[in-house]
Amino acid sequence: MSSHRTSLSRPEQLVAAGLVGPERLQEVMEVASRYALALTPDVAELINPADLHDPIARQFIPTKAELAPDSQETPDPIGDELYRPVAGIVHRYPDRVLLTPVHVCAVYCRFCFRREVVGRQNALSKKQLGAALAYISGHEEVWEVILSGGDPLVLSARRLAEIMHALGAINHVRVIRVHTRLPVVAPGRVNQALVRALNSAGKATYVVLHANHAREFTPNARAACARFVEAGIPMLSQTVLLTGVNDDAHTLGKLMRVLVESRIKPYYLHHADLAPGTAHWRTGIGHGQQLMRELRGHLSGLCQPTYVLDIPGGHGKSPIGPSYIAPRGEFDGTLRYEVEDYKGERHVYPPPPPEGT
């Protein structure tokens, strides 16, 4: 596919680039009038229009299914608004807050749980950002600040450095975590100035990359990630479990290995949230648990993310992976358990004494 120099943010551009057939233009226009649309050149070049099941296209090309919400879905599926004391802050957990200085992204994932907000709301004003930082400063229990959005790395290096400097001046904030998709969707924007902007004296900075398929890791994407790691910034990952993208053990395992090879520790595997118009991406929880069983034992422990559900209503994340242990009862005064190994075989723990002893 030819290289696209600018992002594709209008339906007719998708048609012109050969990513969508002309017969689907009206459909894409209807979806784009409801939810934000943007693909970077790097993402567009990964899509194979001839493949009706292309996992990259499935993440970024609008379809009419997005306009058919499920009755269980909600505009605020994880309850952010219940924990928003001031604009730009979500304070759900005691020791950490989410700071969202911007609501735009380089690309818009079609399954985004903040799809009612991203690409629609303005960035925080100078006054709003000041109030958000004052909130963090006034809450000494806040040990970690998570920069999210939108994608905070779409900000200029100068603006990002200003935010990092302001957080650096708050003594009780010890960790700054940056959530981003940029290294895999626009790797050329991860330059040395951007990497330097994430340094904050006396703070530990982590970058958490959102990636869902191994094909996202082009040589340029790997190089962008390496710039963070080689600057001393550890990287973690978060992945959304998506039907037709990564919902089989081979595909998911390949992604986890590529992450580890890129010096990125798999962190979260998210069960897809109940955002409007996203039912066609969600798997069953049982299917996700089975995938985790298939990864366990067959892939290195480094490749094991935590499978989590963000409980609707603002109740936070809970791990929902399979359980490998259950009480079996008390024998000879000892509480024993039945433990399942990665082959599915079951064992008693502690093991009973050998017969005849």
Q: Which of 58, 112, 151, 303 is catalytic?
A: 112
- Cross-strand partners of 89: 99
How far is Cα 47 from Cα 76, in angstroms, rounded to an integer?
A: 30
Q: Which of 58, 273, 303, 307 is catalytic?
A: 273
Q: Which of 58, 92, 115, 215 is catalytic?
A: 92
76 is known as an active-site residue = no
Q: Strand, coil or helix: what is 259?
A: helix
Burial of 28 (C-beta count, 10 Å sphere; 0-12/13-18/19+):
buried
- Cross-strand partners of 205: 176
Q: Which of 54, 76, 105, 115 is catalytic?
A: 105
296 is known as an active-site residue = no
273 is known as an active-site residue = yes
Q: Is there a contact between 17 and 46 (Cβ–Cβ < 8 Å)?
A: no
How far is Cα 323 from Cα 326, in angstroms, rounded to an integer?
A: 8
How far is Cα 68 from Cα 70, in angstroms, rounded to an integer?
A: 7
105 is known as an active-site residue = yes
112 is known as an active-site residue = yes
Q: Which of 54, 108, 109, 247 is catalytic?
A: 109
User: Strands, E, within 29-166: which ranges?
Assistant: 89-93, 96-99, 144-147
346 is known as an active-site residue = no
Question: What's the token pair of residue 179?
Answer: 């959530």
Backbone angles phi, psi at 139, to 5 degrees: -120, 95
The DSSP bridge pattern shows strands 306-311 and 264-271 to be parallel
Reference 251, options 263, 239, 262, 236; nearest CA is 239
Q: Which of 24, 80, 93, 227 is catalytic?
A: 93
109 is known as an active-site residue = yes
108 is known as an active-site residue = no
303 is known as an active-site residue = no
Q: Which of 317, 324, 328, 337 is catalytic?
A: 317
CB neighbour list of residue 249: distance below 8 Å, 6 or more residues apart: 291, 294, 295, 298
Residues marked as catalytic: 92-93, 96, 105, 109, 112, 114, 273, 310, 317
